[in-house]
Amino acid sequence: MKELIRKLVEAWGPSGYEHQVRQLIREEVADLVDEVRVDPLGNLICRVGEGGPKAMLAAHMDEIGVMATYAEKNSGYLRFAGIGGLNHATLVGNRVKFEDGTTGVISAHDPWNSSRPELDDFYIDVSDGSGENPIRAGSPAIFWREMETRGSRIIAKSLDDRIACAIMIEALRNLKRGKKKKTPNEIYAVFTVQEEVGLRGARAAAYGINPDVALALDVTSTGDMLKAGKMGVQLGGGAAIKVHDPGLVVPPAVRDWMVNRAEADGVKYQLELLAGGTTDAAAIQTARAGVPSGCLSIPTRYLHTTSETVDLQDVEACVQLLTGLLAHPAKL
Catalytic residues: 195
Helix (H, G, I), strand (E, B) or coil at 29: helix
Cross-strand pairs, 153: 150, 311
Residue type, 65: G
Residues 165/22, Cβ–Cβ less than 8 Å: no
Query: Do the bridges between strand 213-220 and strand 54-60 make them parallel or antiparallel, or are there none, so unpaired?
Result: parallel
Q: In what order do the strands lie in the sheet with 153-156?
A: 148-150, 153-156, 308-311
Among 212, 217, 154, which Cα is nearest to 189's?
Answer: 217
Helix (H) or strand (E) holding 187: strand 186-192
Cis bond upstream, residue 161 (ω within 30): yes
Taking the mean position of all CA atoms in its chain, how far away is CA 108?
A: 29
DSSP string, 197-248: TTSHHHHHHHHHH--SEEEEEEEE--S-STTPPP-S--TTS-EEEEEEETTE
Query: 165 with 59: CB under 8 angstroms?
Result: yes
Closest Cα to residue 21, out of 171, 201, 278?
A: 201
DSSP 248-272: EE--HHHHHHHHHHHHHHT--EEEE
> Residue 3 carries which DSSP code?
H
